[in-house]
Amino acid sequence: MVDTAALLAVYDAQIRMPTGAVPSGVTHEHDGPLLRIVGEHVGRIRPPRDVGVTGAELDRLIARQRDYFKARGQGVEWKVRAHDLPTDLPERLIAAGFVPESPSSVLVGFADEVAAEPVLPDGVLLRQVSEAEDLRRIADLQTEVFGVDVSWAADHLLAHVSADPGQITILVAEADERVLCTAWSIYSPGTDFVAFLGGATLPDWRGRGLYRAMIAARAREAAARGFRLLHVDASPHSAPILRRCGFHEITTSRHYQWTPPNQPDAPVT
């Protein structure tokens, strides 16, 4: 039996805050217990498990983040895990105008157990990419899959590659020069963890093992590089696949998003 409580404790201790190189144009600012990430397509708030303030003081802390990004004409998202404190943080975010997104399952896997030779359908190739044109093709696929404009993803990925190419691996599965599936890994220096992000597959290619191949390939590289644990904030569609690959649920997460008036919501990647 896997000790999910122990995995959750390691998760809380190691990856609440980002580590490693910060992309050009992005700044990390602290406001009390919070890390405020500025300069991406949307502002991001990263809290510790326990924010450490309650009541009116917490309301003021939330309002400062909202108003900071409002002055920039930009939206902001605040990520909350199900076990975070204080327990009324979600209600106070909603009262401040934040809108909850659909919850995700936080899954953790052991890299050496998940690692495998990727199995792909005939005619499909798996390729690591980093050039601007390939990143644009990834953004185009994600826009098609999600049904909203995700064009910002190309610049987002390029910024991470430019900051430190050793901290990100970007994969595409393609056939006949068409991108069919995307995924990437973010390595967190000084921790045991690699984050799996960006999974998207064209609807007519789902159910053919592409996402599973992406999981196997990324886990194999993570293990080869000495990272012990993999984590994913998984949608209801991808969570069952990840569980079958050996991942274990340790909690759930939810993004609370504030969007300036007259600006469409932006999906979080």
Same domain (yes/no): 182, 223: yes
Task: Please indicate, yes or no, if residue 10 is contained in any of the structural domains.
Answer: no
Task: Please indicate, yes or no, if residue 49 is contained in any of the structural domains.
Answer: yes
Query: Would you say 80 and 254 are in contact if contact means Cβ atoms under 8 Å apart?
Result: yes
Domain count across the chain: 2
Task: Please indicate, yes or no, if residue 9 is contained in any of the structural domains.
Answer: no
Task: Please indicate, yes or no, if residue 122 is contained in any of the structural domains.
Answer: yes
Per-residue pLDDT of the chain (269 residues; tens, 9 = 90+): 899 999 999 999 999 999 989 999 999 999 999 999 999 999 999 999 999 999 999 999 999 999 999 999 999 999 999 999 999 999 999 999 999 999 999 999 999 999 999 999 999 999 999 999 999 999 999 999 999 999 999 999 999 999 999 999 999 999 999 999 999 999 999 999 999 999 999 999 999 999 999 999 999 999 999 999 999 999 999 999 999 999 999 999 999 999 998 765 544 44
Q: How far is CA 29 from CA 45, 64, 136, 185, in A?
A: 10, 13, 29, 24
In this prediction the pTM is 0.93
Task: Please indicate, yes or no, if residue 268 is contained in any of the structural domains.
Answer: no
Same domain (yes/no): 95, 131: no
Same domain (yes/no): 196, 245: yes
Residue-number span of the structural domain to which 247 is assigned: 109-252
The per-residue pLDDT for range 114-171, each reduced to its tens digit, is 999 999 999 999 999 999 999 999 999 999 999 999 999 999 999 999 999 999 999 9
| CATH number of the domain bearing residue 233 | 3.40.630.30
Task: Please indicate, yes or no, if residue 189 is contained in any of the structural domains.
Answer: yes
Same domain (yes/no): 186, 223: yes
Same domain (yes/no): 93, 114: no
Task: Please indicate, yes or no, if residue 1 is contained in any of the structural domains.
Answer: no
Is the bond leading into 86 cis (omega within 30 degrees of zero)? yes
Same domain (yes/no): 141, 220: yes
What is residue 211's predicted lDDT score, i.e. its pLDDT? Answer: 97
Both structure tokens of 222: 């993570």
Same domain (yes/no): 41, 93: yes
